Amino acid sequence: MAILKIITYPEKSLSEPSTDIETIDETILQLIQDMGETMFQESGVGLAAPQVGVNKRILVYNSRAADPEDDETEQQFAALINPQIIEASGSFVSENEGCLSVVDFRADVKRYETITVRALDVDGNPLEFDARGLIAVIMQHEIDHLDGVLFIDRISALKRAMYKKRLFKSLKETETS
C-alpha cells in the first residue's frame, strides 16, 4: 500500500468529469486500497479518485463515519465504483464542510437530505442504497468530485471569490519566497 499525493485546487483536472471503470482489475483494486489508506492518513471521511490524480469514477469513504459511538480503533472503508445518485429529496445545510483538495477552507453547503446511490462494489456486483445525514453528505461531495464539481462551486460567488483571492495571494507569496 502507498500514501498517494492529494491534488489541490486550483489544479485543472479537479474540474474535469471522470470516466467510468470498465474492468475491475488488480490496478483498480490497488488504487482503491491506496486511496483508503490515504484518506485515513489525511484524516478524511471520503476520497474520490480525481483527488489523487486519477480521473476514474471511484470513491472510498469511512464506512463508520456516521457512528459517533464507534471508537474507530479499526479503520474501515468502503469503495464504490461508477457511483451515481439516482434519487434525491429534501434539503439541509451541511455545516462547516471541508475538502482535502480545497486547503484551509470550510463552508456551509446546501445538500440533499436523503439520496439513493447506485454503484458497483469491488467485486463488480451492483448495489443500491439510501443514505441520510453524514453518509449522504459524503456521497454527494465525493460524487461531485467524479463529476468535476468542487464544494466551493456550490457556495455563494462572494465566498468563493474571497477564498480564491486568499489562496492565490498565498500561492504568490510561496512562489516569491
Mention the CATH class of domain 12-176: alpha beta
If you average pLDDT over residues 135-161, what whole number do you get? 96
Integer Cα distance of 46 and 65 in angstroms:
9
Residue spans per domain, the chain: 12-176
Asked whether the whole model's pTM tops 0.85, one would answer yes
Active site residues: 142
Mean pLDDT, the chain, rounded, equals 93
CB 135 within 8 A of CB 114: no
The answer to whether residue 72 scores a pLDDT higher than 60 is: no
